[in-house]
Structure 1
Amino acid sequence: MRTILALLMREMSTTYGRSIIGYLWAILEPAAGIMLLTFVFSLALRSPPIGTNFAIFYASGMLPFMAWMSIHQRVATAIRFSKPLLFYPGVTYLDAIVARVLLNAITQLMVFLVVMSGIIVFYDLDMILDIPAIALGLLMTLALATGMGTLNCYLMWVSPTWEKIWGVLTRPLVLLSCVLFTFDTVPQPYQNWLWWNPLVHLVGQTRQGVFATYDATYVSPLYVFGISLITFCLGLIFLNSHYRDMIND
C-alpha cells in the first residue's frame, strides 16, 4: 500500500501538477465539449432525444465516454510511465497499474459530480436521479477501462504499430457509442451491430440513472463485466510473463 500511495502521489504531481490548475483543466475540458455540443445541436433540433435540456443529455453520454477514454489511456501507458521505478524490487507492474486506476477513477468521479451538479444548478433542473443506476454505469466504465487498458499495456509494447492502429480505431467511437443519440433511435440492422460495442452499454446505463423516464432494457452489465474480466486477466497473464523484458527493453 505504501508503494501504491507513493506512485499515486507521483502521478498527481506529474499529471496534474502541484497546483489546482491541472484539476481545473480536467473539469473544463469535458465541460467545454458539452457546451459546444449543446450550442450546435440546440440550433438544429427543438429538443434532445431524452428530456428537454441538451446539456444534461450530452453530459450523460459524454462524461462516461471521456472517463473510459482517459482511464484506459492512462492504464495502457502505466508501465511506460513508471518504467524507471520498476527496477526496484519493491515496485511491481501491478502497483503502477493500480496507482493509475485509483488516481484517474477518483479524478473522473470528481469531474462527473462537478459537471453534472453544475448543469443541474445552472439550468435549475428538477431531476430525479437514480444514484445506484448511475453508480453501476460508472463502475462498468471503470471496469472496462481497466481491463482493456491492461491488455493494451502489453499489446502496445509487443507492437508499437498497434498503438497507432488503436488510436485510429477509437476515433469514431464517440459516434458509435450512442453518445450523441440514443440506442433506441438506431434502425435495424445497425442496432444489432452496435449492441456488441460495450461502450453503448455503459453510456445507456448512466443515462438510465440520470433520466427517470429512460428504460435502457438493452443494457447488459454482465456483458461489460465479462469483457472487462477477460481482457484484464489476459493482460495480467501477458504482463506477468514479459514485464521484465518490457522494462529492460
Structure 2
Amino acid sequence: MPLAPLVPTARPRKFASARVVGALMLREMATSYGRTPGGYLWAVLEPVAGITLLTLVFSIGFVTPALGVSFPMFYATGLVPFLAYSSLSGKIATALMYSKPLLAFPSVRFSDALLARLLLNGLTQIMVAYLVFGGIMLWLDPRVIPDTRSLATALALCAGLAMGIGTLNALLFALWPVWQQIWSVLMRPLFIVSGIFYLPEDIPRPYRDMLELNPLIHVVGLVRRGFYASYDAAYVSPIYVLLISGVALVAGLVFLTRFHRDLLQR
C-alpha cells in the first residue's frame, strides 16, 4: 500500500512579532516624516526648538528658580517629562486608528501597533531630553549633577504611565470617538497642576494633597531629584505611579483583547 506523501506542517515564525513591530515603526517613520525636509530628524528638532523657545520666554519673567541657580534648567526639568508623557500617551492612544488597515492581517496584532508607537516615540523623546538637558548644561552652566538612577527611574515611570493611559484611551477612543475631544479638554489644566513652574512643597495643604493625586507630578519630582542633589522630593511615590499605570494598562488590554476586532469594524 503506497504511503501518502508527507506534507510539511507550517511552523510558527520565530520573532514574528518583533519583525511586525519593526515594520510598523519603519512605516510610521516613512509616512509621518519621510515627506518633510530632514525626515525623522525633524521629529526630534521640532520639540527641541519648541522647548527651547518656551524656556527662553519664561526665563524673562521668572528670574529666580525654586531650585538651583538657572531657571531654564528648573523649567526644563518640568516641561520635558510633561511633554514626553503628553506626546507618548497621545501617540499610543491613536495607534489603533493609525494602523487600522494593517490590523486586518492575521500576523498584525493590536499589541504590535501599541508597542511600535511606544518604542519609536519613546526613543524620540529620549533624544529630545538628551539634547535639551545637554544643551542647557553645556551653555548655561546650571551647576547640577545628574543622578542616572533617578533619571532612569523617572523615564521608566513616564513611559509606563503613558503606555497605561494611552492603551486605555485607545479603547475609549474606539468605543466613543467623542471621548477624544473630551479628553483633550480635560488635559488642558494638566500643564498647571504638574509642578512645571513650582514645587509642590510650596503649595499649602489641602491643595498640595490634591496635586499629589496627579501621577505626573511624581514623575516631574523624580526628574528634579535626579538633577538637584539637595532636593529630596519626599512626596514622590513610584509605587503610586506604577499602580495607576498598571490598572489603566490591564483594563485597556483586557477589553481590547476581547473587543478589538469589533471596534475596528465600526
Normalised by the size of structure 1, how large is the TM-score?
A: 0.95
Q: What's the CA shift for 1:235?
A: 0.3
Please name the residue that 2:24 is paired with. 7
Between the aligned residues of both structures, percent identity stands at: 41
Q: What's the CA shift for 1:39?
A: 3.1
| Structure 2 CA distance for partners of 1:100 and 1:113, relative to 1, 3 Å | same
Q: Is the 8 A contact 1:30 1:62 kept in 2?
A: no
Q: What's the CA shift for 1:159?
A: 1.0
Please name the residue that 1:49 is paired with. 66
Q: Is the 8 A contact 2:44 2:127 kept in 1?
A: no
Q: Is the 8 A contact 2:52 2:132 kept in 1?
A: no
The aligned runs of 1:204-243 (5 Å cut-off) are 204-243=221-260
Is 2:265 aligned against 1:248? Answer: yes
Q: Is the 8 A contact 2:68 2:143 kept in 1?
A: no
CA offset digits 1:182-240 (Å, max 9, x no partner): 11111111001011100110000011101111110100000001111110010001111
Paired with 1:98 and 1:246, the residues of 2 have a C-alpha distance of: 19
Equivalent residue in structure 2 for 1:100, among 117, 122, 125: 117
Q: Is the 8 A contact 2:150 2:223 kept in 1?
A: yes
Is 2:99 aligned against 1:82? Answer: yes
CA offset digits 1:81-121 (Å, max 9, x no partner): 00000111100100000100000110000100011001111
Q: Show structure 1 runs of 4+ deviating over 4 A.
A: none
Alignment length, in residue pairs? 248
Please name the residue that 2:184 is paired with. 167
Q: Is the 8 A contact 1:38 1:58 kept in 2?
A: no
Paired with 2:62 and 2:91, the residues of 1 have a C-alpha distance of: 36
Is 2:216 aligned against 1:192? Answer: no
| Structure 2 CA distance for partners of 1:9 and 1:180, relative to 1, 3 Å | same
| Structure 2 CA distance for partners of 1:82 and 1:47, relative to 1, 3 Å | same
| Structure 2 CA distance for partners of 1:21 and 1:87, relative to 1, 3 Å | closer
| Structure 2 CA distance for partners of 1:110 and 1:37, relative to 1, 3 Å | closer
Q: What's the CA shift for 1:21?
A: 4.7
Structure whose residues are more often helix by fraction? 1
Paired with 1:61 and 1:247, the residues of 2 have a C-alpha distance of: 37
Q: What's the CA shift for 1:248?
A: 1.4
Q: Is the 8 A contact 2:151 2:226 kept in 1?
A: yes
Equivalent residue in structure 2 for 1:156, among 164, 167, 173: 173
Q: What's the CA shift for 1:12?
A: 1.3
Paired with 1:141 and 1:114, the residues of 2 have a C-alpha distance of: 18
Q: Is the 8 A contact 2:33 2:42 kept in 1?
A: no
Q: Is the 8 A contact 1:147 1:229 kept in 2?
A: yes
Q: What's the CA shift for 1:15?
A: 2.4
Q: What's the CA shift for 1:241?
A: 1.1
| Structure 2 CA distance for partners of 1:77 and 1:46, relative to 1, 3 Å | closer
Alignment RMSD, CA only? 1.5
| Structure 2 CA distance for partners of 1:116 and 1:71, relative to 1, 3 Å | same
Is 2:128 aligned against 1:111? Answer: yes
> Counterpart of 2:128 in structure 1: which amino acid?
V
